[in-house]
């Protein structure tokens, strides 16, 4: 299977945008969630931390997958013709 240069470059750019978005957005969301946390026991805090960790992984996976795919598609659509593919 061959990947076009335009699609590859688009996927790289989309993935980088997804990671940058993750680095910027997740700490803000996590800070808000921690402010709303009403855990009183160690078990509740541990459960809350597990949910925060799961949220971080899900957001990273979804952003990298969707923005990488969108970048690939846009690269094929717009960069492909420019690069002569």
Q: For CA atoms 51, 52, 57, 63, give the dihedral sign.
A: positive
- Predicted pLDDT of residue 80: 87
- Per-residue pLDDT tens for 39-84? 899 999 999 999 999 999 999 999 999 999 999 999 999 998 888 8
Tell me how far apart the alpha carbons of residues 49 and 2 are, in angstroms, rounded to a whole number.
42
Q: What is the pTM of this model?
A: 0.81
Please report, for the chain, the start and end positions of each structural domain, with discontinuous segments joined by +: 5-34+41-82
Tell me how far apart the alpha carbons of residues 7 and 69 are, in angstroms, rounded to a whole number.
9
- Per-residue pLDDT tens for 12-48? 999 999 999 999 999 999 999 999 998 899 999 999 9
């Amino acid at each position: 299977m061959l990947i076009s240069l335009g699609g590859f470059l688009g996927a790289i750019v989309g993935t980088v945008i997804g990671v940058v978005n993750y680095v910027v957005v997740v700490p803000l969301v996590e800070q808000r969630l921690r402010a709303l946390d009403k855990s009183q026991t160690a078990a509740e805090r541990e459960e809350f931390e597990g949910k925060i960790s799961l949220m971080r992984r899900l957001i990273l996976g979804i952003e990298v997958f969707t923005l990488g795919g969108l970048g690939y598609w846009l690269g094929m659509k717009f960069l492909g013709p420019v690069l002569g593919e």
